[in-house]
Amino acid sequence: MGNKAKKINNQVTIFENLDFTSYEEIFDEYSKEFYSFIEPKGETTFGFWMQTLADLEFLDLELQGLTDKYYIDPIKRTVELDGNIALIRNRISHLEKVKGKTTLYSEFVEKFGDTNAYAFHNLYPYKGKFYPRIVRTLINAFKLNENSIILDPFNGSGTTTHEASLMCIKSVGIDVTPMGVILSELKNDLLFINEKIISFTKDELEDIFYSIEGKKWSHPNQTIFKLMLAIYFDTLDAFSRTNRYNKKGILGLFEEKYNYVADCYLKTKEIKDKHLLSFVPAKIIEGDILELRDIPEFESKFDACITSPPYYFSIDYVGKDKVAYEYLNINMNKIENKYLGMKKNFISNHTNGLPEKVLAYYEDLKKSIENIFWALKPGGKFALIIGDSTVNGKKIPTTMTAKKFCEEVGFKFEKLIFNPLLGARNRAIRGESVIIFKK
Ligand SMILES: C[S@@+](CC[C@H](N)C(=O)[O-])C[C@H]1O[C@@H](n2cnc3c(N)ncnc32)[C@H](O)[C@@H]1O
């Protein structure tokens, strides 16, 4: 604002000509006053993305896992801490700076301009995706390290497995939908692909687009093969929803989406090289959680399970990827039948006033929890991310029902944090709970 702020406005009033403070000057004074509140001062400071009381609880949770000595000052938005500073700086997801230096998470946020869409997390708009920051927090809270292995049996588009890979921790992700599996594999494989393989010119992209459209697309590298298909499906879906892209055209949108992924690749690589990170690949499996015990080596194998089952009865998870399944000639009915709570011939005499489909879902949810218990090591940690939804105008108590199931199965309850979904458009979905248990 500089000199401008010093300008005094001479204004005519009913009494006489008077000098008034200019707007600029008022602004300047205010901003001086408030500056100290905007940027926390100190060596170890909160990230600007810490917005809710839940975030404060998450910070506390991850600090518990990362150090024995810390004190959170919620007013100054700072933390005093001791311990393995390099490790904390590398891992923590709610702080911007630790002992004067930027955290790795904050570097991701800065580079990608987003607190959740960093690395390949935003590769595709998968329905019901959860926040990578929560996964990071839980990995920290559970004191997991490079010798640990994590399970997500409802891995969806692979948020858990991708975040685990970025944190250099082994993981296994299972999902029943082929599209989820393709996306999780992609997020995984793109971390290890060679730069030359992922570079394409505008002309090449045009050829690729038309060969996919003509169902003639092939490529020797499976990652590139699947990546281009995923970008094509996303383009088709986005294009059909709005006429906003008419000007750039469908091909223009395809190119734009490819450029976004290529840019994510470069940014991720820059951070990887700068910090000498050795990302760890995840194992992705197409499968049904209800059949988890068919993989005997998974018994008592995992140190932690971080997962979120489908629970919005209002979301058509499979239908969302109709474009992809039609193109790939995959029978969607077969997938839908395996979907949690979608058994076609479910009959119950004890409805307790709950819709049948909710009861069928609860039966499958309990079996899923039993299987997770079976797959965890004794002492293993379990984080279930779940929320209540509404069916036919009736609120369904899924959170507390799931908690009860976990305890019945043998889990020890440790903590519940309610995380409000501030941006949720659907008013029925107010937020979700992160419920933590121990085997
Ligand atoms: C809430 S979404 C999980 C989203 C995931 N956390 C992400 O970030 O993409 C629930 C997932 O459960 C999967 N699912 C549903 N029934 C399943 C089953 N029987 N076995 C395994 N996965 C199943 C769905 O395909 C869906 O991807």
Q: What is the pLDDT of residue 2?
A: 43
Helix (H, G, I), strand (E, B) or coil at 12: strand
Task: Please give the distance, rounded to the nearest whole angstrom, from the Cα atom of residue 155 to the centre of ligand 1.
Answer: 6
Burial bucket for residue 297 (CB in 10 Å: 0-12, 13-18, 19+)? exposed
Task: Look at residue 1 and tell me whether its pLDDT is greater than 50.
Answer: no
Closest-lying ligand 1 atom to the alpha carbon of residue 126? 9
Pocket test for ligand 1, best of 176, 186, 364, 386 (most atoms within 8 A of CB): 176
Task: Please give the distance, rounded to the nearest whole angstrom, from the Cα atom of residue 341 to the centre of ligand 1.
Answer: 12
- Do residues 408 and 326 touch, judged by C-beta distance below 8 A? no
Query: 149-152 and 78-82: which strand pairing?
Result: unpaired
Task: Please give the distance, rounded to the nearest whole angstrom, from the Cα atom of residue 342 to the centre of ligand 1.
Answer: 13
Angle separating helix axes 53-66 and 132-141, nearest 10 degrees = 40
> What size, in residues, is the chain?
439
Tell me the pLDDT of the chain averaged across its residues: 90
Task: Look at residue 275 and tell me whether its pLDDT is greater than 90.
Answer: yes
| pLDDT tens readout for residues 42-91 | 999 999 999 899 999 999 999 999 999 999 999 999 999 999 999 999 99
Task: Please give the distance, rounded to the nearest whole angstrom, from the Cα atom of residue 159 to the centre of ligand 1.
Answer: 11
Q: What is the pTM of this model?
A: 0.91
Q: Please name each of the domains of the chain with its CATH number.
A: 2-38 (no CATH), 41-113 (no CATH), 125-178+279-439 (3.40.50.150), 193-270 (no CATH)
Closest-lying ligand 1 atom to the alpha carbon of residue 289? 20
CA distances 227 to 230, 247, 286, 325, 340, Å, are 5, 24, 18, 15, 28
- Do residues 202 and 176 touch, judged by C-beta distance below 8 A? no
Provide residues with CB under 6 Å of ligand 1.
126, 128-130, 153-154, 156-157, 159, 174-177, 180, 288-290, 308-310, 317, 338-340
Q: How confident is the model at residue 145 (pLDDT cuts 50, 70, 90)?
A: very high
| Dihedral in degrees, nearest 10, Cα atoms 178, 183, 187, 190 | 90
247 vs 263, higher pLDDT: 263
Query: 95-98 and 149-152: which strand pairing?
Result: unpaired
Pocket test for ligand 1, best of 340, 346, 399 (most atoms within 8 A of CB): 340
